[in-house]
């Protein structure tokens, strides 16, 4: 996790602006055949696409990325989480490299933050094919800590059920929690209903469709929060940076949590 050069601003705040996006290694995907020509190969438009993403997240506090390349051939050996964080002026970032395909590609979950986390932990997720993970960050300490998990789940419902069962164990004792990422399922799916039953997370109201970005029909990218937090608004950004639209939320924090979190200068 990178650190800022200045001190922390001691002013507390009442709301967080969250954003989550699967960026498909920086590829600007506007149709299915672009997966081959832009996602898996180095492409000159990726750097400009990442810079546009950086400009779009400047007003957010916490950003979760999925399928950010960890610095392999397809990204021009650029750690994309770090690149977006530094381009947008965020003081903290961390990434969780997952499945690697030779030197060609390695996807990662990424956390970009204006708030200093007290700890960041990488958790591999269960699955028949290894390579999925959950990136957990904790902000503050004790009962007033905020726990944030960023993840990209499998395509199969059985694998997702096991993975969400694991995430449920991570969040079982977290009263203030956020799960965000490409969960590859609807908010009312059987596997997410089981997650709600085991944790303090609540189903979102009217989640916006995010996939595919050029004709969104499926709401599979989510920002889920615990009952102690309040989502004031939930929306997608109009600009597509991949085959998924970014999903964003404005969240009101409970009073105790407001006193724990501090913005970086």
Q: What is the reported pLDDT for 122?
A: 97
Least confident among 26-30, 133-137, 209-213: 26-30
Q: What is the reported pLDDT for 77?
A: 79
Q: What is the reported pLDDT for 10?
A: 45
Does 6 have pLDDT greater than 50?
A: no
Give the model's confidence band at 14: pLDDT under 50 very low, under 70 low, under 90 confident, else very high. Answer: confident
Q: What is the pLDDT of residues 245-263, one digit of tens each?
A: 999 999 999 887 866 676 7
Q: What is the mean pLDDT of residues 147-174?
A: 97
Who has greater pLDDT, 234 or 127? 234
Rounded to two decimals, the pTM is: 0.89
% of the chain exceeding 90 in pLDDT:
66
Alpha carbon distance 245, 239 (integer Å)? 7
Is 3.30.300.20 the CATH number for 15-260? Answer: no
Give the model's confidence band at 104: pLDDT under 50 very low, under 70 low, under 90 confident, else very high. Answer: low
Q: For 121-174, give the DSSP string.
A: EEEEPP-SS---EEEEEEES-GGG-EEEEEEE--SSHHHHHHHHHHHHHHHTT-
Does 71 have pLDDT greater than 80?
A: no
Task: Please list, in sequence order, all residues whose beta carbon lies within 8 angstroms of the beta carbon of residue 76, skipping any fewer than 6 positions away.
Answer: 42, 46, 47
Does 35 have pLDDT greater than 80?
A: no
Does 203 have pLDDT greater than 90?
A: yes
Q: What is the reported pLDDT for 106?
A: 81
Number of residues written out for the chain: 265
Write b or e for each residue in 200-213: b if 16 or more Cβ atoms lie within 10 A of its Cβ, otherwise e.
Answer: bbbebeebebbbbb
Who has greater pLDDT, 131 or 221? 221
Q: What is the reported pLDDT for 229?
A: 96
Does 34 have pLDDT greater than 60?
A: no
Q: What is the mean pLDDT of residues 114-139?
A: 94
Q: What is the reported pLDDT for 98?
A: 86
Q: What is the reported pLDDT for 172?
A: 95
Q: What is the mean pLDDT of the chain?
A: 87
Domain ranges of the chain: 15-260
Reading the block at residue 124, the tokens are: 């591999």
Q: Within a 10 A sphere around the Cβ of 167, how many other Cβ atoms?
A: 25
């Amino acid at each position: 996790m990178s650190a800022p050069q200045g001190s922390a601003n001691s002013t507390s705040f009442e709301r967080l602006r969250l954003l989550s996006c699967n960026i498909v290694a920086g590829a600007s995907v506007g149709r299915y055949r672009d997966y081959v020509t832009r996602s898996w190969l180095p492409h000159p438009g990726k750097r400009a696409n990442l810079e546009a993403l950086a400009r779009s997240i400047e007003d957010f506090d916490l950003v979760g990325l999925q399928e950010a390349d960890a610095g392999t051939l397809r990204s021009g050996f650029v750690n994309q989480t770090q690149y977006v964080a530094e381009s947008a002026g965020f003081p903290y970032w961390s990434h969780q490299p997952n499945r690697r395909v030779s030197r060609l590609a390695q996807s990662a979950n990424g956390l970009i933050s204006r708030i200093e986390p007290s700890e960041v932990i990488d958790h591999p997720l269960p699955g028949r094919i290894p390579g999925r993970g959950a990136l957990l960050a904790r902000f503050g300490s004790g009962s007033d800590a905020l726990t944030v998990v960023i993840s990209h789940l499998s395509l199969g419902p059985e694998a997702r059920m096991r993975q969400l069962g694991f995430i449920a164990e991570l969040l079982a004792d977290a009263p203030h929690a956020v799960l965000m990422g490409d969960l590859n399922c609807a908010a009312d799916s059987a596997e997410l209903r089981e997650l709600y039953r085991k944790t303090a997370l609540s189903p979102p109201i009217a989640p916006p469709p995010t996939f595919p970005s050029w004709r969104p029909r499926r709401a599979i990218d989510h920002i889920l929060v615990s009952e102690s937090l309040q989502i004031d608004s939930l929306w997608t950004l109009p600009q597509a940076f991949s085959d998924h639209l970014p999903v964003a939320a404005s969240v009101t924090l409970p009073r105790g949590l407001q006193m724990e979190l501090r913005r970086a200068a």
